[in-house]
Chain A
Amino acid sequence: MTDRINTLIIKTPEGVEFSLRLAGPITRFLAWSIDLATIMALMSIINVVFAVLGVLSRDLAAAANIIGFFIISIGYGMLTEWFWQGQTVGKKLLRLRVLDAQGLRLQFSQVVIRNLLRFVDSLPALYLVGGLISLFNQRAQRLGDVAANTIVTWNPRITEPDLNQLLQGKYNSFHDYPHLEARLRQLVTPLEAQVAVQSIMRRDTLDPQARIALFREIRAYLETLVTFPQEATDGISDERYVRNVVEAVLRPNASSEISSKPPQTF
């Protein structure tokens, strides 16, 4: 199996990188299931309309039914993806989007080709061919995506933890060293900050031994980035140390709020 990447990084000629998170086969299958349900719903509406037409001519109603089903089943993906910039109902609900694989503007021909090639991707049933190929493809592309040069991205909803509630009311000795806090903000990567936040949020679910080991490890790493004077770190637990760092990094304005309050012991 080729190495799968969850993120596609596009580097512009200006030297700036932006990343696109690729959608996996399971999410895409779920989106397709929603789309299938939508197509079925549209069909049942059309059936009712054509049933009325059947009063005039049963032959015409049957013909319109066949053509209607054909147009909806083939045209649904094309029209929605074109008019909603790469999204269908299922993709909208699951926050997926079809994009050009080079980050360029999605063309109508690309939308048409990736939808026409569903005929092969859906073989023998339930998108087995497309699903298997996307599992082995580095960019999680099914055959239609390869031919159309498209990718399907996932835009996760960023739910920021309620840091005010999480960190509120505690004296942070690091606020006395704003220049070191600024240094921390430069050096801690977004991923590292998220690791620290998640550790604090999930601390109560951890086994006591694991909790101690985890915060010890995170503190040890953070200390390699910035060293605070001994008076700022003396007597504070590893967990407290990580909390202080999270606050310094993610709530840069908190220092001014808290410095006006009398220090609290903990």
Chain B
Amino acid sequence: MIIDLQKFITEERLYWTELEKVLNRLERKPDEKLKLGTLERFHYLYQRASADLAKISTFSAEPNTRQYLESLVGRAFGEIHETREKPHRLRPLHWFFNTFPQTFRKHLRAFTISLIALLVGAAFGGFTVIVDSSTKQILLPFSHLQGDPSDRVKTEESADTDRLEGAKSYFSSYLMTHNTKVAVFTLALGMTWGIGTLIMLFYNGVILGAVAVDYVMAGESNFLLGWLLPHGAIEIPAILLAGQAGIVLASALIGWGKPIALRVRLRKISNDLVTLICGVALMLVWAGIIEAFFSQYHEPVLPYTFKIVFGCVELLILAMFLGRAGRQKASQNAQSKE
């Protein structure tokens, strides 16, 4: 109960201003660690402002003061009751070499599901083309893939001009942005309980399987590997990782066998989703550069063996990176926590 409102505001305003100053400081410098004395004072100020808000809540005359106090208590509540780590200073190298591969390994099951969806799609696409090769007109959305593979190989190998001359950067940036959009879309479709994500993976698998079988049946395996491996060794895993992120999101949404609230489940995976999709974006930047500047050049300009070896090396490095990088750091962290 407040008898004298003016007196109440005059007396308490000093504490509110002090609390506001601490909050401004904390919001400006999220890295700063407060000393015990300052922390105790901060907590006291928060409790005092909370009590003031409770007192003034029923008081009709001061809607502005009530709103001001609500906002103050709201901000302080966020600072005091937040248990998640504050954002660190940007450490891109540490993030890339430790956090990203660690996050990938943390959700290996989701990656396996993603891989299976793609492989099932590839098997379906391949099988369909084996049964009836005319289905590639429906399955393959790109006109240059709908014709006879041997004709394309002949055309590519006999080309005496560089058809990407003066447009490589444009083509590369188009590939980067388009593929990143597809990857983000694959992640976002996790909100359909993962059904959309699985459909995207399956569909990409169908295209891949249909193309692969079509070229193998035409006896153009070398061309196929030399053309697809240099960029596909990174691009296809990138789409798989985007699918992994979508499935992680879907599994948090569904929450089978997890006796925790939806918001807690989603909160737990939010950093992992961002890490995975940022990693995917980086992978797709690399894949875009390779596809525009390297993959589109065939024999006699670039020997297929060289391109295939290059692709295999990339795949190996990627597998080692995702499988091994940051392991030491993770075990050190686990030991220090124990």
A: which residues have CB within 8 A of B? 10, 12-20, 57-60, 62-64, 66-67, 70, 74, 85, 100-105, 107-110, 112-113, 116-120, 143, 146-149, 158, 160, 182, 185-186, 188-190, 192-193, 249-250, 252-253
Contact = CB atoms under 8 A, between A and B. Distances in A.
A63 B191 CA distance: 32
A190 B6 CA distance: 17
A16 B59 contact: no
B263 A17 contact: no
B169 A62 contact: yes
B70 interface: yes
A249 B61 contact: yes
Given A102-B263, A103-B77, A147-B266, A120 B191 contact: yes
A109 B278 CA distance: 11
Interface in B44-74: 47, 50-51, 53-54, 57-61, 63-64, 66-67, 70, 73-74
A105 to B, nearest CB: 4
Majority DSSP secondary structure for residues of B touching A: helix
Contacts of B5: 185, 252
A189 B60 contact: yes
B254 to A, nearest CB: 13
Ranked 4 nearest A-B pairs via Cβ: A63-B169, A193-B60, A63-B173, A109-B270
24 contacts: A12-B81, A13-B81, A16-B54, A60-B169, A67-B173, A67-B177, A70-B177, A100-B78, A103-B74, A105-B86, A107-B84, A107-B270, A108-B87, A108-B274, A109-B271, A109-B274, A116-B187, A120-B189, A146-B191, A147-B266, A158-B67, A185-B61, A186-B58, A249-B60
Contacts of A186: 1, 58-59
B166 to A, nearest CB: 5
A193 B59 CA distance: 10
Nearest to B265: A149
B277 interface: yes
Contacts of B184: 74, 116, 119
Interface in B74-96: 74, 77-79, 81-82, 84, 86-87
Contact of B74 (A18, A101, A249): A18
Nearest to A182: B3
Interface string B266-286: 110011011001000000000
A66 B185 contact: no
Given A67-B173, A105-B78, 15 more contacts: A16-B50, A58-B166, A62-B169, A62-B173, A63-B170, A103-B78, A104-B77, A105-B82, A109-B273, A116-B184, A120-B196, A148-B270, A190-B58, A190-B63, A250-B61
B174 interface: yes
Central interface residue in A17, A57, A148, A190, by most chain B CB within 10 Å: A190
A107 B87 contact: yes
A99 to B, nearest CB: 8
B72 to A, nearest CB: 9
A118 B54 CA distance: 38
Interface in B1-57: 1, 3, 5-6, 27, 47, 50-51, 53-54, 57
B172 interface: yes
B60 A158 contact: no
Contacts of A143: 188, 191
Contact of B168 (A59, A64, A85, A252): A59
A192 B60 contact: yes
Contacts of A101: 263
A250 B62 CA distance: 8
Given A149-B263, A188-B60, A63 B47 contact: no
Contacts of B27: 85
Contacts of B187: 116
Nearest to B270: A109
B60 A190 contact: yes
Contacts of B188: 116-120, 143
B176 interface: yes
A102 B78 CA distance: 8
A15 B54 contact: yes
A108 to B, nearest CB: 5
Nearest to B53: A16
Interface in B157-195: 166-170, 172-174, 176-177, 180-181, 184-185, 187-192
Contacts of B224: none
A59 B170 contact: yes
Contact of A12 (B77, B84, B277): B77
Given A105-B78, A113-B270, A59 B176 contact: no
Contact of B59 (A105, A119, A185): A185
A110 B82 CA distance: 14
Contacts of B233: none
B207 interface: no
A117 B270 contact: no
A27 to B, nearest CB: 19
B249 interface: yes
Contacts of A18: 53, 70, 73-74, 77
